[in-house]
Structure 1
């Protein structure tokens, strides 16, 4: 069985994967879902990747999964550890030398969220209310340091890569992400229903999709 290395996104914590982790373990897999140092102003994506590598330790047969901004950290981890597979879920897709703060503009992203009070509806519209409340209560500060540094890889890692798009995502819309994945990774993404926090809204389905890979 595999070890799934689950990498969270901005201002988040490994907790967001706990329901997916439960299902993957029930299917016989091992799971590592560390907290990244996202509130540390001295840390960039290289340091984020180092935190994941340390958490993985000597484990092998790795499937690295990155969500949202975790799309910048997960490929670094996959390359360093020689992962068996890399899976991006509702994630940003970096290019060599690109700063995360520039990726959205470079890909024609249109931010339709202008009302801060609407963020709950954007991120958690299909998440059970009690889980959405727990997620919000655990949100952490997100340093801007990683966004200002060029992505450190010279090329996309030579690791088999899949992309799972969430058709009901209100943050990274399906139409935009389809174009990003085709342009930057050269293939069409896989798709499932659900919003941006798919690991909380449809954890069993997501886990089974990951296990099927």
Structure 2
């Protein structure tokens, strides 16, 4: 049975932010589902995000979920609803039972409040990034950009323009699972990630999952900066699980 790679976006993102990786995987003959979540819907929480993923994979077998960033809260809910062969956490948040996403930052002792503020500024700037008065951290591809600093300028600008409005609803609700789902899980971090620095994610994966992460070069969006290398990694993980 063919493996389907299910690409789940992080906060304020959609399927476009996966488009280079999705194209690379499809060029290799892989089945890909790139999910759009109802992130702008103030009535939608994590359960509704999981509903969107489950609906998108209906009828598919041998699922490898790839959860980026905030999708670390959503993907485990999907694993509790449909059979999943492998969960890949890509520069992702890892929740504990009952922990709301808005509590996660303090609970994990995220090391840099300035970077968090810069990330929020970048998302708010969106299509206006680069305009007069926009903080340097909100200018996509700038030296202070916590998201797209390693992308070519044109791609960084388009990635920022394509930010969606992210409702605060899912961040305010406790993660509803009692435990991490019993599914093979792989964690992949990026060594130049400014939003979730490598030492922080190494400790997080060890403390909350008992895992030693795999590592690659790049910033927070390797699906845009290094789609070929990321596709290689995902194929390798999937093949190992299938074996």
Query: Do Structure 1 and Structure 2 share a fold, with TM-score over 0.5?
Result: yes
May I ask how many residue pairs the two structures share in their alignment?
213
CA distance in 2, matches of 1:130, 1:96: 40
2:169 corresponds to which residue? 145
Following TM superposition, by how much is the alpha carbon of 1:82 offset from its aligned partner in structure 2, in angstroms? 1.2
TM-score (norm 2): 0.85
Three-state SS of the structure 2 residue aligned to 1:69 is: helix
TM-score (norm 1): 0.97
CA contact 1:63–1:85 (8 Å) conserved in 2: yes
1:53 corresponds to which residue? 54
Decide which moves more: 46-55 or 126-135: 126-135
Query: For residues 136-188 of structure 1, what are the alpha-carbon distances to aligned partners after superposition, in whole Å with 9 as ceiling and x for unaligned?
Result: 11111101100110111111011000000000000000011111100000011
Following TM superposition, by how much is the alpha carbon of 1:24 offset from its aligned partner in structure 2, in angstroms? 1.2
Following TM superposition, by how much is the alpha carbon of 1:201 offset from its aligned partner in structure 2, in angstroms? 0.5
CA distance in 1, matches of 2:102, 2:44: 15
Gaps of at least 5 residues in structure 1 are: none
Which structure has the larger Rg?
2
Gaps of at least 5 residues in structure 2 are: 122-134, 238-243
Structure 2 matches for 1:85-164, cutoff 5 A?
85-110=86-111, 111-113=113-115, 114-115=117-118, 116=121, 117=135, 118-119=137-138, 120=140, 121-164=145-188
Three-state SS of the structure 2 residue aligned to 1:80 is: coil
CA contact 1:87–1:162 (8 Å) conserved in 2: yes
After the TM superposition, list the runs of 4 or more consecutive aligned residues in structure 1 that deviate by more than 4 angstroms. none
1:19 corresponds to which residue? 20
